[in-house]
Structure 1
């Protein structure tokens, strides 16, 4: 049994929502937290190694629970449309790992990948293999939750690819029985979650966000199959109609905040279903990056047109008491790893910095049924912890620069360390020194 380690820090954010603790201590042993709190209240075991970092803040590892690590990101590809035709599935799988590591080294210790549609199919097995290689310790990376697309022909998620693209016929399904079979196939391949779609969306070509994607029976079949196999289902919803269909189907999480109604706000709050905003994908910054990477003008115009509705819906849901957890919808843009920009948007729209932190820690863990293990720095939980230069509870923007994330710990092991004399990283090349794959 390894000896305990006690981290003495200037400030401690334990993730429970309480005030920032001055002069905090976190004691870790065998990958779990033994105790955490003010220095005056925490007993440090005899023989424990003591690490003193009075200038740093300790906080839980962050969780980004809606992103697409297999999509072609602006940090690694010049033009996402070109890259769709130039990259083999084998290379694409390696980019999944690299993209996950880019998030990990910026403080995101848990990711939920929300699926992929490619010319070769869903690539569920490829994503599962990346997850398993990290879990087995072959490669360093974040804890990865795999959610596999389980959607129909011509759905929003099918239209991630251009309409004229050749498609793998096994990637989509139609009717309750086919949808159930696709759900079973995804779960057989090792998916942790299923991801389906109740409405149109924003970041694709000529498609209205208001269209219905599936019948109620199709959504019911996907959610039922997930629950029958003791897994979970997330549903893409842009409209009140889609939100109502998702609740009837038994969705475990609702993805995106775009349009809302007072009636559906009440129903979502009453159901307790967590909702993921994904606002970074809707910002002017994201639209500008999309423009550089070859997105058609029609799509750019649509993204800008729905932007104010997204912000209004976030404010309405926050005010109504909806359970909000963090996700970016990061795929093509912005740069993979800059996920903490999402939290700044939440603060700009009315959250306190601490509330925003909770969306990426406690709320996030509870949304994916991991609240007993992750999300807070409390006794008995897995030791996923960050050491941060600055106090994000005062200024949420301190979580954005790479150089402010001084150490990233997962399961009690430090994988990224930027403290002087301790230098360590999971990315073994100089940041941004790599060539763009389609350049």
Structure 2
């Protein structure tokens, strides 16, 4: 049993524990996630999406093997135990090639799965829910399941040939788009127990071939819609009563839990409730880079007060100019007049500006900002104005270095997930607490 399977098994035994997944490639986010995992004694699941990382490089420019090396290098330099890092692949399937014919898209998807598994990614989300250019829309559940089983067969063979532990799988047909950003205008429907049951059944049948039966035993979770999502300016909060029937359904099924996508910006109370109600794998991504952006903008405000204009980084203006000049990452997502677009580019919850931090001029502005504030440390009065939570941490002895302040801002967001997932036994809050490290040690 792998560490992930042990954790899911503990949840199914009645322990109110879960697994949070940090879906991000941002260096400061990953370093903050390591700080969180260290403080709360949890495993650290880091996932790359099929948009971020693929056999051609994705938008990060990294293949799965390069992403693995990048994460492990960060762990070593940050003195975080590499054995506590779990790598996952999110939305693995034809997603990046869905505008092409299904045969071509699935050929790329097969290569994608092989690349991820060969690189040591252990948790594999099989997502074949999208229609390709020659497919009907929506895609029938049977087709989704058959394609997922085809990719699982590739994953099994790749792991065996590489001498790696076999992967664990997440399935599901009611899958939010990568990165969230659902429209909340018409409300949000919770997956029905009937739909969840059908998803399980069609996948069980698709995995019924003798060579796939062992893989089916390692399906740990199913993606459903528990009634949580966000768009550019609003958040649909979790309503436990609306998800009661779905939560009751999973209790009748052996071994598996639900995986909840787009949990960004939920309250900590809601995150605890989600884990309690068997949405035991919580995905977070844009909220972490949103916190990164908030921290950098706060530092830019401090810089504006401290330094002459000619010495400033002008980070906020540089980022916005870059987004305007290269709008491919946001123009199909944001709508409105020029003032609305300006606000969305900078502050939208969907955080499309996360795609621009690696642009040379933006990266240079960030480096100048950090360098300026390392040479001219922010005084208490400005930290109080723009980063009061970080001021309190500095007063408690945390470093005042600007990058440490950025990580602390991100830490605050991710720590909510760690506390929700490393809790105590269901129904006995405050008693019999079991840390994730203790759970993982029972392998």
- Which structure has greater strand proportion? 1
Q: What TM-score does the superposition give when structure 2 sets the normalisation length?
A: 0.40
Q: What TM-score does the superposition give when structure 1 sets the normalisation length?
A: 0.41
- Which structure has greater helix proportion? 2
